[in-house]
Amino acid sequence: MKILRYFFHVLQVGLIYAMYLMDDLYKNHLGFMRNVSFYSHKIETSMVGSKLFLLPLLLVVIAVFLIIRKRSWETVLLMIMGITFLIWQGLVPVTATPIYYLISGILGVGCLLQLMNVFLKRSQSL
């Protein structure tokens, strides 16, 4: 289980690299740029796009509950990641960056990986 937790941390670092890779792909590949623009517009006008801020809010609430129950550096890291995701959703407008939804997806996957790390660590300590 410990190896799986370390693997999830390595994946999270890889997700940080994926953000820069997506930005580079958007700037240098026209086909990717068109697809991202098309799907970003589609998500923005859909019902999911308007409710996307609820995901980081839910993650922060779960992190607060987990910190209250048992504090560890993994739960604190989950809280930091959830707050970062919430700030990204709340303060950065959709029009500010063309890969807004890609970055939101990457942050969401990173938070879910950290949530799995927290639950793996909690299951080991029980």
The confidence band for 86, taking pLDDT boundaries of 50, 70 and 90, is very high
Per-residue pLDDT at 93:
87
Whole-structure pTM value? 0.88
The confidence band for 125, taking pLDDT boundaries of 50, 70 and 90, is low
CA distance 106 to 109: 5
CA distance 91 to 113: 24
> Where in the chain are the domains?
2-125
Radius of gyration of the chain (CA): 16
Per-chain mean pLDDT for the chain: 90
The average pLDDT across 62-86 equals: 92
Question: Quick check: 120 and 2 in contact, CB under 8 A?
Answer: no
Helix intervals (H) in 1-126: 2-28, 30-45, 47-50, 54-69, 73-91, 100-125
Enumerate residues 6+ apart whose C-beta is below 8 A from 81: 59, 107, 110, 111, 114
Which pLDDT tens digit goes with each residue over 13-69?
A: 999 999 999 999 999 998 999 999 899 889 888 888 888 889 999 999 999 999 998
- The torsion angles phi and psi of 52, rounded to 5 degrees, stand at -65, -25
